[in-house]
Structure 1
Amino acid sequence: MELWETLPAILTGVATVYVVLLAGLWVYARHNPETVGMKDALRLLPDLLRVIRRLTADKTVSLGVRVKLILLLAYLLLPLDLVPDFLPVIGCADDVIIVALVLRSVIRSAGPEPLRRHWPGSPVGLLIIERLAGISPSDAKARPLDS
């Protein structure tokens, strides 16, 4: 299969994950208007991909963690999914669930500090990702979000 045949599927998959994350953030923002704005929501997926790439390149992070992150990126970029993306809601939910599970596993193995050290986005975006990864609010308060 040529790159030009798979590229549209990859782009569609990334766009779909982005739309699902935005929809989830929109629902969250409606219930918690003081915590997240649309600017942070729009930046979340690019920031998440950037932090995954940075963690993968960080030699201080264990090889097992980096392999998990590489497999996560491959899963997100490949057009094949556990649940096909054309199914409404659940088609994209599997991507979000897998991201959350891998982040939780990475945090358990590497600790929250590498995530915080490499996070390129806003403090609000980091807080959302930490919640998705299962970091408790007391863990999140251990480092000031303004740094």
Structure 2
Amino acid sequence: MTGYWWMDALIGLAVALLVTWLALIIMLAIVRPHGGMLREAMRLLPDVLRLVRRLAADRELPRRVRVRLGLLLVYLASPIDLVPDFIPVLGYADDAIIVTAVLRSVVRRAGLDAVRQHWPGTDDGFAALARITGIDRRPPPSDT
């Protein structure tokens, strides 16, 4: 039986990947835009793609932010989704959800002004983007 340790390792790896994927599905369900915001997010998609490309090319942004944005562009261009389209709601919304999560992290690291500076659309479109992603919620000032 000791000759089949690789089989146990393979089964363990498959179970770990399945559990990780299920955790991702749960996380995406929690952070997804609610109500009509998903439709609004899909409407803004062309401007958001241009925004992500512009931010990724901005040498003034921290390297980690640019790498994260580059990986996002690769994911969006990939024909393979983390969540298959047959899963209700999340199947078609996973791209919008992942873009939202990445933009939130970009704002935390680079600031809202950097995102605003590169926004290619209208002011109303940026207001909708800020509402959908929650990027307009700034942390309260500290009392230091």
For normalisation by structure 2, the TM-score amounts to 0.63
In the alignment, does 2:59 pair up with 1:59? yes
Q: Which runs of 4+ in 1 moved over 4 A?
A: none
Contact 1:107 1:133 in 2 (8 A): no
Q: Distance in 1 between matches of 2:69 and 2:53?
A: 8
1:37-76 to structure 2, matched below 5 A, reads: 42=43, 44-76=44-76
Where do 5+ consecutive residues of structure 2 fail to align?
Answer: 1-32, 139-144
Match of residue 130 from structure 1: 130
How far the C-alpha of 1:124 sits from its partner, in A, is 1.1
How far the C-alpha of 1:101 sits from its partner, in A, is 0.7
Where do 5+ consecutive residues of structure 1 fail to align?
Answer: 1-23, 29-35, 140-147
> Which one-letter code corresponds to 2:58 in the other structure?
D
Contact 1:55 1:118 in 2 (8 A): yes
Larger of the two Rg values belongs to structure? 2
Q: Of residues 36, 47, 56 in structure 2, which corresponds to 1:27?
A: 36
- The count of residues paired between Structure 1 and Structure 2 equals 106
Identity fraction in percent: 51
Q: Distance in 2 between matches of 1:133 and 1:25?
A: 11
Contact 2:100 2:133 in 1 (8 A): yes
> Which one-letter code corresponds to 1:63 in the other structure?
R
Deviations 1:87-136 (A, max 9, x none): 34220222221111100101000000111101110111101212233223
Q: Distance in 2 between matches of 1:64 and 1:55?
A: 12
Give the aligned CA root-mean-square deviation in angstroms. 2.8
Deviations 1:32-61 (A, max 9, x none): xxxx8xxxx74x211111111111111111
> Which one-letter code corresponds to 1:27 in the other structure?
G
